[in-house]
Amino acid sequence: MPLKFPEAETVYQQHPELRKQDLEVLQQWLNWQPHLPQLIETQILFFLHNCYNDVERTKIAIEHYFTIRNICPEIHIALTPDVLKTTTATAFVNILPKTTPEGYAILMIKLLDARANNFNCVNNLNLVKMVSALHVHQKSFPNGNVILVDMHGSSFRHLFKMNLRAVRYSLDHLKYIRLKGIHVMNAIPLTDRFIALVKPFLNSELYNMIHCHSSNSDTLYKYVPKECLPEDYGGELPPVKILSEECLQNMLDNYEFYEWLDKQKIDESKRTVKHK
């Protein structure tokens, strides 16, 4: 079924801090950027919201997002339905249906299959993009974003299969979202190695958002209440298996959205100023 995008007026009602005059400024700016794709109002408002209504920063974020899509298409061009099914069978990537009390969306990532032979770093990062993009176009914009990474099942073999180029460009987007924290659950000694791997790609502000929580600790609940988690973690949400199945079905039902999004590309031949 085709995806129905939220109306701009609905977004304004939900986020009265967004100003129509700022949207108009950005639309005019986009008209003078022949290399950029045409964006719908909701997309522009999403970038503006993520940049805390800073118009100039929003311009940078839009330019950056679509440039990176061109540079690293392997984590942006949608996985085929068959690959999507295979990937969701090995990794759980889900924006949980309940937000924190502050209205922060919770992105949860964990291995479903601990066998390193079945681990595909690039496809997993692509899945994160697919889940996040669809959620933004289906739901209202969150006040912020929290990332939960469950380390259970991770090993040195997974570490060796990390694709640093894909990791770098995937993390690069974090600069332009309302990120409030990165929480590593079930932290193990190997966790330090994974963090050391990504540290060169994070600025100090993002790096300082990383918090590690051991399996016997309840320190996570200071940031994410227990009731916001799946049943498997003692929370009030459905179990991971059900959430994963529902997420996959939602993506398959709205696959036309990904086909539409994949057509939004930069045309470098029309760029008037070289992107740095």
CATH at residue 175: 3.40.525.10
Question: DSSP states of the chain as a string?
Answer: -PPPPPPHHHHHHH-TTS-HHHHHHHHHHHHT-TTSPP--HHHHHHHHHHTTT-HHHHHHHHHHHHHHHHH-GGGTSPPPHHHHHHHHHHEEEEE-SS--TT-EEEEEEEES---GGG--HHHHHHHHHHHHHHHHHHSPPPSEEEEEEE-TT--HHHHHT--HHHHHHHHHGGGGS-EEEEEEES--TTHHHHHHHHGGGS-HHHHTTEEE--TT--GGGGTS-GGGSBGGGT-SBPPHHHHHHHHHHHHHHTHHHHHHHHT----GGG-SS---
The reply to whether 167 and 95 lie within a common domain is yes
Q: Using 50, 70 and 90 to split pLDDT, how confident is the model at 1?
A: very low
Indicate the average pLDDT of the chain. Answer: 93
Q: Tell me the average pLDDT across 161-166.
A: 95
**Number of separate domains in the chain:** 2
The reply to whether 49 and 134 lie within a common domain is no
The reply to whether 225 and 92 lie within a common domain is yes
The reply to whether 51 and 134 lie within a common domain is no
Look up the pTM and report it.
0.94
The reply to whether 215 and 115 lie within a common domain is yes
In a domain, 87, yes or no: yes
For residue range 235-267, what is the model confidence (pLDDT) as tens digits?
A: 999 999 999 999 999 999 999 999 999 999 999
Residue 216 has pLDDT above 60, yes or no: yes
In a domain, 29, yes or no: yes
The reply to whether 112 and 245 lie within a common domain is yes
The reply to whether 246 and 114 lie within a common domain is yes
In a domain, 36, yes or no: yes
The reply to whether 33 and 131 lie within a common domain is no
For residue 2, the model assigns a pLDDT of: 52
Q: How many CA atoms lie within 13 A of 226 on its CB side?
A: 8
For residue 275, the model assigns a pLDDT of: 53
Q: Tell me the average pLDDT across 124-131.
A: 97
Q: Using 50, 70 and 90 to split pLDDT, how confident is the model at 270?
A: confident
Q: Tell me the average pLDDT across 211-235.
A: 94
Q: Using 50, 70 and 90 to split pLDDT, how confident is the model at 93?
A: very high
For residue 8, the model assigns a pLDDT of: 84
Give the Cβ contact number of residue 7 at 10 Å.
11
Supply the range of the domain harboring residue 108: 81-253
Residue closest to 238 by CA, chosen among 94, 132, 109: 94
In a domain, 1, yes or no: no
For residue range 39-53, what is the model confidence (pLDDT) as tens digits?
A: 999 999 999 999 999
Which amino acid would we find at residue 225?
P
Q: Using 50, 70 and 90 to split pLDDT, how confident is the model at 189?
A: confident
Gap between the Cα atoms of 236 and 67, Å rounded: 40
In a domain, 236, yes or no: yes
In a domain, 178, yes or no: yes
